[in-house]
Amino acid sequence: MNQNLSIDEYNALEEITKLPKGARPSACISRNSKRLIGIKLIAHRRDGSFELTENGRQILFIKQCINGLRAIAENPDFELSAPVATFLGKKAHIEIDAGSGKHRITARGLECLADIEATIQTSATKGLGKKS
């Protein structure tokens, strides 16, 4: 699950979750389908449509959790989806503030975000040294 996906590939995964059964895939999905099938995040159905694999669902959920953590860190009034709030609460990344009743990021959550940002910076720095 250590895939470096582009924003376009994440968008394709999101679009697949919203695509009605039997509908034609968008250009974004078509453009990214070969790689996403290759890394087993989506599967091609017999009817020509696409579906997320279990790994694809996990990748999207992790992205939603990271985005939720970032949003709570910036704005405590942000409303998390129930599954994301439950997961982040169980992992002690967020807690409910007794005074306001709103979600609040914990020290552990801040450490996690710092780790994520450091990893992003490291991978971006490594990419700069490559020749085209």
**pTM greater than 0.75:** yes
Q: How confident is the model at residue 2 (pLDDT cuts 50, 70, 90)?
A: low
Nearest to 97 by CA among 105, 108, 109: 105
| Alpha helical stretches, state H, the chain | 7-18, 27-38, 54-74, 82-90, 107-128
Is residue 50 within 8 Å of 33, Cβ to Cβ? yes
**CA 60 to the chain's CA centroid:** 4
Q: Which class would CATH give 60-127?
A: mainly alpha
Taking only the tens place, the pLDDT of each residue in 35-87 is 999 999 999 888 888 999 999 999 999 999 999 999 999 998 899 999 999 99
Annotated domain spans of the chain: 7-52, 60-127
Which residues pair with residue 107 across a beta bridge? none
